[in-house]
Amino acid sequence: MTAPAIAARPALRSALKGVLPLVALLLLVLLSLATGKFAVPVADVARILWTKLLGLPSTLDPTAQIVVLQVRLPRVLASLVVGAALAAAGSTYQGLFRNPLVSPDILGVSAGASLGAVLGIYLSLPVGAIQLLAFAGGSLAVGAVYAVGLAMRRHDPVLTLVLAGVAIGAVLGSAISLLKVLADPYNQLPAITYWLLGSLASVTLGDVGAILPAMLLGLLPLVLFAWRMNLMSLGEEEARALGVETRLLRPLFIAAATLVTAAAVSVTGVIGWIGLIIPHVARLIVGPDFRRLLPASLLMGAGYLLAVDLVARTIAPIEVPLGILTALIGAPFFLWLLANAKRSWA
Amino acid sequence: MNLLVRDLAFGHGARTIGEGIGFDLRAGEVLGLLGPNGGGKTTLFKTILGLIPAKAGRITLDGEDVARWSRARFARSVAYVPQAHAASFPFRVQDVVLMGRASRLGAFAVPGRADEAIAADALATLGIGHLAERSYTEISGGERQLVLIARALAGEPRFLVMDEPTASLDFGNQARLLDQVRHLSRRGIGIVLSTHDPDHAFLCHRVALLHEGRLLALGPPEEAVTPETLRLLYGVEVAIVPLPGEGRFVCTPVLAR
């Protein structure tokens, strides 16, 4: 073997490492677009997408085109965006709170955002306003949990954080229940209930377009300061001693992750556990460096939610709400993490 | 080049733990801080580092008040070596050491080849180059302490603040660490370190004794560390005996018969 060939191998391998997951995700997207009550061959799906992208006239079955482009495509795009967002938020919270077992759910962000969004539905507000309320609710919840954590520094910080999240989540849950009792049982209540279980069934391309700016805005600081995020995971004092302005970065990161979570929650409802499991699995594969962990979480989160949504809409004659499936998969995994955690947790 | 602490008062929240603390640290000097458990050594260090707001007093570097300096500017001059601890995430040792470059990089910058070379140098200086690829969570407490020193050195500071660097180490690792401290001071780095062990005080150029929030004594070890001051500090009788051929002293408690 010649010397250049040997030198090229690691470069080739790292290129493959980057490309292979993308190819796998693309195949999963094609499979998702093809599968359902009205099955479309994968080759036709590819052709429909291709002609649409190039703006060519298509000779394919118009029904197949409608199913792929108007029924399934919005859903596939939404699951990619939401899955990626929840996983990115989870990996951010885990780094900031220095614990691989926290997530948007445990910190009360999801519950807070839910309360905001349910309030929006209750008041029959437009999507943009529901998003704003979801963001406000999520921020207030994570702020409250964090404040309780700071106030009780004497206790074990992780335990305090988790218990504060549980307590504040319960308060938010009771407020949500109150709104459900007050809501119109024929118009609003079914919408609220279905939404609380999490679903991509009624997502439109407009919804995806509406949350995309918030998602990108939230991801921007995470990408820009990805290396600094590694230092944040050392804890407040060590990061500051190393020259990091944590008093600027910490609120920025929390706001970014909360924005991304709230945007996701505002269109799909509560889809739990992704923000906990995916970052953890991603860390097992690529290690804790946030510069690799963030893209890995984004990719795996997108693929995971896409796969779960595919199962949700094909496993039974009626559609299974997503939140039910993600919890069914996520909770046992969480218990497995607890049992195998190297460091004592409480 | 000196770090000057003048009339410093420190504490947590409303509670003042100590006051009237003053000393200076010159390039290449090792200053040992001796004091009982819970006496506020760590709080004093964190106050000097600006991690806890000072209740009174000033800290200057080469005559310039550091109160308004950015975190990065201060970190470029004074690095902190915390007590070795368990990490939350399994970063590789070389990545941990690279984090020491943060104060030398712009906000959006990431470490490059030059930074990696400096990090590798820091590991080599401490004789732990072989740990570079290992996970920080899998190495021993003594190795972690050395990695944290390497991380501090990677920022190319002029002063090191080391919080009980020998506390979690066994006998052999303590000796090796003190060797490293001496080696670093010969390279011109000013070091202030806290310790439990009065024997270590005799390896320092000067010693400060922290007693009930004030400096009981400050000076060369032979003058500051006496049976009287140690009795005040620890509440036990101590014998201080010369070590033949070494030109220094060792301390040992005198037990009741």
Provide, rounded to the nearest whole percent, the portion of chain A with pLDDT above 70: 93
CATH code for position A296: 1.10.3470.10
Specify the number of domains making up chain A. 1
Cβ-in-10-Å burial (0-12, 13-18, 19+) of A192 comes to buried
* B178 to chain A, closest Cα gap in Å: 23
Interface test with A, best of B52, B70, B78, B99 (most A CBs within 10 A): B99
Give yes or no for residue A3 having a pLDDT over 70.
no
Question: Nearest CA to A312 among A326, A298, A300?
Answer: A326
How far is the alpha carbon of A344 from chain B, nearest alpha carbon, in Å?
11
Provide the residue type at B42 as one letter. T
Domain annotation covers residue A330: yes
DSSP 8-state secondary structure symbol assigned to residue B130? G
Give the pair of three-digit tokens for residue A330: 């996520």
Q: What is the dihedral of CA A147, A152, A155, A159, to 10 degrees?
A: -30
Chain B interface mutation, best of A92, A153, A227, highest count of B Cβ atoms under 10 Å: A227
Is A142 exposed, middle or buried, given 0-12, 13-18 or 19+ CB atoms closer than 10 A? buried
- Measured between beta carbons, the chain B residues lying within 8 angstroms of A237 are 46, 51, 82
Residue A198: domain span: 84-340
List of chain B residues whose C-beta atoms are within 8 Å of the C-beta of residue A288: 89-91
pLDDT of residue A345: 36
pLDDT tens, B32-67? 999 988 889 999 999 999 999 999 999 999 999 999
Token pair of A142 as six digits: 């994570």
Q: What is the mean pLDDT of residues A143-155?
A: 80
Which residue in this structure is represented by tokens 């404040």? A147
pLDDT given at position A318: 87
Total beta-carbon pairs less than 8 A apart between chain A and chain B: 75
Task: Answer whether A249's CB lies under 8 Å from A225's CB.
Answer: yes
User: Residue B213 has what pLDDT?
Assistant: 93
Rounded (10°) angle between helices A109-122 and A127-151: 150
| Distance between CA atoms of residues B215 and B213, nearest Å | 7
On chain B, the residues whose CB falls within 8 A of the CB of A221 are none
Domain span at residue B184 reads 2-253
Give the confidence band of B25 by pLDDT, cuts at 50, 70, 90: very high
pLDDT of residue A2: 45
Query: What is the share, in percent, of chain A residues with pLDDT greater than 90?
Result: 48
Q: Is residue A223 part of a domain?
A: yes
Burial-class residue A31 by CB neighbours within 10 Å (0-12, 13-18, 19+): middle
Q: Which of B72, B88, B95 sits opposite A289 (nearest CB)?
A: B95
What average pLDDT does this structure show over B186-202? Answer: 94
Which residue, among A91, A231, A234, A247, would best test binding to B if mutated, counting the most B CBs under 10 Å from its CB? A234
Q: What is the mean pLDDT of chain B?
A: 93
Residue matched to tokens 């302005």: A245
Torsion angle of C-alpha atoms A189, A194, A200, A203, degrees rounded to 10: -10
B114 Cβ contact list (under 8 Å, min separation 6): none
Q: Does the residue A303 lie in any domain?
A: yes
* Rounded mean pLDDT, A149-153: 77
Question: Residue B7 above 50 pLDDT?
Answer: yes
Nearest CA of chain A to the CA of B23: how many Å? 21
Whether A46 is in a domain gets the answer no
| Predicted pLDDT of residue A78 | 95
Q: Can you tell me the mean pLDDT for A238-262?
A: 92
> HSE-up of A94 (CA within 13 Å, CB side)?
28
| Residue A230 or A251, more confident | A230
pLDDT of residue A5: 47
- Chain B residue with CA closest to A291: the answer is B110
Q: For residue A95, which residues of chain B lie inside 8 Å, CB to CB?
A: 89
Q: How far is CA B234 from the centre of its chain?
A: 21
Euclidean distance between CA atoms A261 and A107, whole angstroms: 12
A161 contacts A150 by C-beta, under 8 angstroms? no
Residue to mutate among B45, B70, B89, with most A CBs inside 10 A, is: B89
Q: Do B103 and A242 touch (CB under 8 A)?
A: yes
pLDDT of A262 over the 50 cut: yes
Say what the pLDDT of residue A342 is.
56
Question: Does residue B248 register a pLDDT over 90?
Answer: no
Continuous segment of H or E residues that includes residue B159: strand B159-162
CB-nearest to B76 from A100, A240, A243 is A243
Cβ of A225 within 8 Å of Cβ of B107? The answer is yes
Residue A246 lies in a domain: yes
List alpha helices for chain A, DSSP H: 3-34, 42-54, 62-66, 73-96, 109-122, 127-151, 157-182, 188-196, 205-224, 226-232, 236-241, 246-268, 274-286, 290-314, 322-340
Give the CATH number, domain containing residue B51. 3.40.50.300
Cβ contacts (< 8 Å) between B86 and chain A: which residues? 343
Q: How far is CA A224 from the centre of its chain?
A: 19
